[in-house]
């Protein structure tokens, strides 16, 4: 017998309209939070990897920003990153919100998939929200154009159907060596993940346009001798009145954001965390090339 290893490995890009549950799916397959989630669109700004091992297969999921018709520079860069993720991957999973059905964003993605000529995997998400007949109707309709090699019906929230989906992928990824260490679940540096956790709280706790116009950066990360970490972050907003909103009355909002983010970080990192947040006004951060580099986005997309 030749001593060829029987391992398999492949990249699977998760694409779809905003808010269909791509990041929730990524966290569900990985089993821990690697990508932040909120009810707001544009939560995911860059490409995030989630790495899963199933049997002899290592499946590397690429979470992408939602695909929609972009208007601003940041949006253009995010959509370009999403399609870039699909181009780099061995397989593409198109996620559709079963409750929302086939809306304009999803139709546009189907159009582009058809043009590319590559087969994708259809994943109908949020099955916990719809009745079976509606679901089957939608699956039938989406399959009419013959763009999909397989269809899965899942709930990223409850975990329903996730096992079958991962099992299928473990069988179709190509034979080859694993590309990441066995215990690695993401490629996101801890400082960036920590910043994302705080941004998630901003999205969850604040409303209107402001959350989309805030950025978070981890400025320093100090490991202390008692095993805890002191993390300082800056929240960048674009206007002085946004700063006031993030701070809240007597600093109450920033306090709540910090408390929730700290709790989440302590669970994720499994250490005690001292989190210090500062709010700064930086007009036009969304037009600063440096930010794009940091997130792995193309400024000129």
Residues making contact with Mg ion (CB under 5 A): 22-23, 43-44
For strands 57-63 and 48-54, give the pairing: antiparallel
**Interaction of residue 128 with ligand GDP, rule CB under 6 A:** yes
* Closest to 59 in 3D by CA, of 7, 126, 113: 7
**Which residue has tokens 């116009």?**
213
**Interaction of residue 47 with ligand GDP, rule CB under 6 A:** no
Tell the smallest beta-carbon distance from residue 177 to Mg ion (Å): 29
Tell the smallest beta-carbon distance from residue 100 to Mg ion (Å): 15
**Interaction of residue 43 with ligand GDP, rule CB under 6 A:** yes
Tell the smallest beta-carbon distance from residue 133 to Mg ion (Å): 29
| CB of 52 or CB of 247, closer to ligand GDP | 52
| CB of 44 or CB of 57, closer to ligand GDP | 44
The answer to whether residues 217 and 278 touch, using CB atoms and an 8 Å cutoff, is no
> Token digits for 253?
């909002």
**Interaction of residue 201 with ligand GDP, rule CB under 6 A:** no
For strands 48-54 and 273-281, give the pairing: unpaired
**Interaction of residue 85 with ligand GDP, rule CB under 6 A:** no
Site string for ligand GDP, 221-260 (x = CB under 6 A): ----------------------------------------
Q: How far apart are CA 67 and CA 106, in angstroms?
A: 8
Q: How far apart are CA 258 and CA 274, in angstroms?
A: 10
Q: Among ligand GDP, Mg ion, none, what does residue 156 contact (CB within 5–8 Å per kind)?
A: ligand GDP
Query: How many residues line the site for ligand GDP (CB under 6 A)?
Result: 21
| CB of 216 or CB of 254, closer to Mg ion | 216
**Which residue has tokens 């069988």?**
171
Spell out a b/e string for 131-154, using b for 16 or more CB atoms within 10 Å of the CB, else e. Answer: eeeebeebbeebeeeebbebebbb
| CB of 39 or CB of 181, closer to ligand GDP | 39
> Token digits for 203?
């999205």
**Interaction of residue 133 with ligand GDP, rule CB under 6 A:** no
| CB of 125 or CB of 233, closer to ligand GDP | 125
**Which residue has tokens 């991957």?**
89
Tell the smallest beta-carbon distance from residue 182 to ligand GDP (Å): 26
The answer to whether residues 211 and 39 touch, using CB atoms and an 8 Å cutoff, is no
Spell out a b/e string for 240-276, using b for 16 or more CB atoms within 10 Å of the CB, else e. Answer: eebbebbbeeeeebbeebbebbbebbeebbeeebebe
Binding site for ligand GDP (CB under 6 A): 16, 18-24, 37-39, 43-44, 66, 125-126, 128-129, 155-157
């Amino acid at each position: 017998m030749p001593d060829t290893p029987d391992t398999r490995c492949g990249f699977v890009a998760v694409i779809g309209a905003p808010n269909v549950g791509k990041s929730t799916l990524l966290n569900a397959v990985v089993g821990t939070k690697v990508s932040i989630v909120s009810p707001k669109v544009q939560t995911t700004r860059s490409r995030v990897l989630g790495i899963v091992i199933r049997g002899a297969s290592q499946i590397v999921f690429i979470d992408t920003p939602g695909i929609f018709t972009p208007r601003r520079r940041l949006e253009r860069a995010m959509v370009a990153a999403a399609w870039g993720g699909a181009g780099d991957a061995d397989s593409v999973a198109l996620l559709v919100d079963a409750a929302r059905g086939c809306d304009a964003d999803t139709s546009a993605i189907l159009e582009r998939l058809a043009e590319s000529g590559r087969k994708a995997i259809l994943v109908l998400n949020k099955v916990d929200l719809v009745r079976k007949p509606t679901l089957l109707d939608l699956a039938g309709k989406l399959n009419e154009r013959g763009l999909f090699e397989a269809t899965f019906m899942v709930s990223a929230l409850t975990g329903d159907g996730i096992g079958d989906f991962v099992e299928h992928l473990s069988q179709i990824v190509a034979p080859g060596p694993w590309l990441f260490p066995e215990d690695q679940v993401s490629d996101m540096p801890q400082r960036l993940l920590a910043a994302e956790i705080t941004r998630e709280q901003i999205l969850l706790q604040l409303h209107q346009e402001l959350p989309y116009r805030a950025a978070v950066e981890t400025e320093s990360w100090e490991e202390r001798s008692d095993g805890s970490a002191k993390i300082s972050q800056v929240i960048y907003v674009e206007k002085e009145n946004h700063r006031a909103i993030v701070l809240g009355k007597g600093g109450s909002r920033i306090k709540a954001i910090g408390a929730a983010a700290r709790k989440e970080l302590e669970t994720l990192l499994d250490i005690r965390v001292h989190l210090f947040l500062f709010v700064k006004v930086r007009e036009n951060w969304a037009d600063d090339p440096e930010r794009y580099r940091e997130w792995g986005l193309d400024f000129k997309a």
